[in-house]
Amino acid sequence: MSERPGLSHAIRAALLTGEASAKVFAARQVARDWRLGRLRFDLGDDDAAPMPDRPAWPDDLDLLPPSQMPKRGKGGSERGRIALWHALAHIEFVAIDLALDIVGRFGGQMGEAFASDFLGVAADEAMHFALLDRKLASLGSHYGALPAHDGLWQAARDTAGDVGARLAVVPMVLEARGLDVTPATRDRVASSGDSRGAAILQRILDDEIRHVSLGTKHFSRVAAARGENPPELWRKLVESHFAGVIKPPFNDSARRSAGLSLEFYGALAS
């Protein structure tokens, strides 16, 4: 019987899949194959596949610096609605690669439970993107129809050398920001009569609370291994690796549910 394929090679192949629906399938397949024991944990081995500096994305995706992104327009207009759902779809699409990359890049030092947690996150993000892409199709649009910004992957590049920094910035800052802003977006969508859109956003919010919780859990492991206080280490790493600002309003109840207490972010809030 031949040896099972290595997890690192499956992750690298998914990261280098550019077409959107194919990446969704690839990410879900990696997560399923790992869960069913079809992949060998080779992360950290000498023959493990290296992670690419950046993943493949659709050829027709027009990437702009965040400062050059066009204004979305009013949310009540058809253009504004499409711009909203396109922006959300891009966030979830990049989140697939962020979850795959954290496993492939740091899974060797963090272990199999870490890999299982974040491969589950990758599968969730793939499902979120599929829901949002379907929503765009219902509006007569598609992912790639509008420009998108490259800021989320820049955060991955800035934290590629330190799992603590990656956890501090990606789940505990960027995804946590989603906990703050999604409820208001959901309520606006619901008030416009779009109950299906509101249900999609509620599903994403529920899952993202769990994702932030996983990031916080594994960050606390890193802090314990370094002999540091988790909130203090988080603040140091965010100040070193995150160029943005931590700003209110905060969804304190959702953050608490995710284990992210005010002790972490209160001192950095601007």
Q: What is the mean pLDDT of the chain?
A: 95
Q: Is residue 183, in this structure, part of any structural domain at all? A: yes
pLDDT tens string 82-115? 999 999 999 999 999 999 999 999 999 999 999 9
Quote the number of domains for the chain: 1
| pLDDT-derived band at 67, boundaries 50, 70, 90 | confident
| Residue 176 pLDDT > 50 | yes
Q: Is residue 27, in this structure, part of any structural domain at all? A: yes
Q: Is residue 1, in this structure, part of any structural domain at all? A: no
Q: What is the pLDDT of residue 267?
A: 86
Enumerate residues 6+ apart whose C-beta is below 8 A from 163: 102, 105, 106, 109, 110, 222
Q: What is the pLDDT of residue 270?
A: 65
Q: Give 75 or 165, the one with higher predicted confidence.
A: 165
Q: Is residue 80, in this structure, part of any structural domain at all? A: yes
Strand partners, 149: 64
Q: Is residue 31, in this structure, part of any structural domain at all? A: yes
| pLDDT-derived band at 171, boundaries 50, 70, 90 | very high
Q: Is residue 14, in this structure, part of any structural domain at all? A: yes
| Residue 1 pLDDT > 50 | no
Q: What is the pLDDT of residue 65?
A: 80
Cα gap 145→136, rounded to integer Å? 10
Q: Is residue 152, in this structure, part of any structural domain at all? A: yes
pLDDT tens string 205-227? 999 999 999 999 999 999 999 99
| pLDDT-derived band at 197, boundaries 50, 70, 90 | very high
Domain interval for residue 176? 7-268
Enumerate residues 6+ apart whose C-beta is below 8 A from 71: none
Question: Of 64-73, 156-165, 261-270, which one has max mean pLDDT?
Answer: 156-165
Percent above pLDDT 70 for the chain:
97
Q: What is the pLDDT of residue 68?
A: 77
Strands (E), the chain: 63-64, 148-149
Cα gap 86→145, rounded to integer Å? 8
For residue 37, the Cα-to-chain-centroid distance in whole angstroms is: 24
Q: What is the pTM of this model?
A: 0.95
Task: Give the Cβ contact number of residue 28 at 10 Å.
Answer: 20
DSSP assignment of 94-124: HHHHHHHHHHHHHHHHH-HHHHHHHHHHHHH
Going by C-alpha positions, the residue among 215, 190, 214 that lies closest to residue 202 is 190
Q: Is residue 2, in this structure, part of any structural domain at all? A: no
Q: What is the pLDDT of residue 73?
A: 54
Q: What is the pLDDT of residue 131?
A: 98
Q: Give 243 or 114, the one with higher predicted confidence.
A: 114
- Given a contact cutoff of 8 angstroms between Cβ atoms, the answer to whether 47 and 12 are in contact is no
Cα gap 209→205, rounded to integer Å? 6
How would you classify residue 181: left for phi > 0, otherwise alpha for psi between -120 and 50, otherwise beta?
alpha
